[in-house]
Amino acid sequence: MSTAGAPPAWAACDPYTAALRSGRGPLFLRHADGRLLPLEVERWCADADAVDRAALARCEGTVLDVGCGPGRLVAELAAQGRTVLGVDVSEAAVTRTITVGGQALRRSVFGPLPAEGRWGTVLLMDGNVGIGGDPGALLRRMAQLLRPGGLLIAETDPEDVDEHAEVRVVRHDREAAGDPFPWARIGTPALLGIADRAGWRTAAQWTAGGRRFVALRTPGPRSTSSSAEPPKSTAVISSQRPR
């Protein structure tokens, strides 16, 4: 896990920065044993797709996108008039998010963030539930960011895995890379088990387009919509900056 406010080693990794700037891969997370986990750079750098929009329709109140990457989700929510902020440790990611019409800050999720304890929804999409390599610690941090009864929407691994490892960002298997950093791959059953032991309530779980998601609610007063179902209408909020 990175120290508070300090970007991890991969944040300035040339392959990652180059991929975000070009919008193209290939890009992988390389494990110590040589396994390569492909990263979907082209999808991340495209506009939000139907699967993304269906997940975003479940958002409640102000939205914080943790590990926003190139900003497609932040831009989509901003275009809908939602109050949304992205945070990412990569300067290239933050720059691209702002370029496509969103608001973003270069911050570690484990460092100080705006409006802590007042966010209505926090997003952990595109594998970001693996940030820091310790999903339990990450869930504890999410609880600090959300208001009581707030909603966490997390995209889990398509496989039922619970894997913690040191990885590096690379373009191919023979490429020299920077320092390793901790990462986790976790499927829905394992994440729900961790969440249940920590007192989170499962609001929903679903699969769409080959991707898997869960919605979790922090302990505390229930909101008027406790099922995390897509709202019938979306209120338009004029400001895109969290208050």
| DSSP line for 167-228 | EEEESSTT------EEEEEEBHHHHHHHHHHTT-EEEEEEEETTEEEEEEE-SSS--S--S-
Q: pLDDT tier at 14 (50, 70, 90 boundaries)? A: confident
| Domains annotated on the chain, with CATH | 54-164+179-217 (3.40.50.150)
121-139 per-position pLDDT tens digit: 999 999 999 999 999 999 9
Is the pLDDT at 111 greater than 90? The verdict is yes
Q: HEC string of 41-57?
A: HHHHHCCCCHHHHHHHC
Give the three-state DSSP class for 110: coil
pTM for this prediction: 0.86
Is the pLDDT at 221 greater than 60? The verdict is no
Least confident of 73-82, 151-160, 233-242: 233-242
Q: Are 220 and 143 in contact (CB under 8 A)?
A: no
Residue with tokens 């396994």: 35
Q: Once rounded to an integer, what is the mean pLDDT over residues 113-120? A: 98
85-96 per-position pLDDT tens digit: 999 999 999 999
Least confident of 12-26, 51-65, 135-149, 154-168: 12-26
Is the pLDDT at 74 greater than 80? The verdict is yes
